[in-house]
Amino acid sequence: MYLVTVLGNLLIILAVNSDSHLHTPMYFFLFNLSLVDIYFTSTTIPKMLWNIQSQSKAITYVGCITQLSFFLLFGGLDDFLLAVMAFDRYVAICHPLHYMVIMNSRLCGLLILVSWVMIVSLFYGSSLGVYLSSAASHSSHSGAIASVMFTVVTPMLNPFIYSLRNKDIKRALKRVLGMARTKGTIIWG
């Protein structure tokens, strides 16, 4: 599931980056969401896989705080990016003639910057306190299931939900994968 998450999001990043037709606000936000989903899953899943492999659940205090900090940062950023994407779709649907004027590159950059500043200020303070104070009151089995759903399944499905049903992304991916096959044929041929 981790590999599907990383590869799916990397394909979205590659498609948006390589196709000039996708250099619009909607795909700019999708690019950032895919990037954050890779970071988000990479804060916990590699350690979890290591723990399963080594049959050890040990983590240092500094490692725990670091992992928790990045988890909260990227989890909160994911939420804010989804809100920004919702605003982008609102403008596109309700004000289609003014879309490019409203969603200019300066506003898009500002929305991304505000999203990052808000994963730092709001979530480090409140979430850290809530998470540490309530950790002892939850059952470990239900907490583990909720954690897997939140940290693995949701970021894995985001590329499918937000982009692979999109004909522009499909076209860009076909073009990128077609170029990769052509280059592979030239190299191997």
Write out pLDDT tens, residues 92-128: 999 999 999 999 999 999 988 888 777 666 545 555 5
Q: How far apart are CA 89 and CA 33, in angstroms?
A: 15
The CA-based angle 126-87-102, given to 5 degrees, is 125
Tell me the pLDDT tens digit for each residue of 1-38: 889 889 989 988 998 999 888 899 989 999 999 999 99
Instruction: Find, among 28, 127, 40, the residue nearest to 77 by Cα.
Output: 40
- Into which CATH architecture does domain 2-131+140-173 fall? Up-down Bundle (1.20)
User: Cα angle vertex 162, ends 79, 179, to 5°?
Assistant: 125
Distance of alpha carbon 130 from the chain centroid: 23
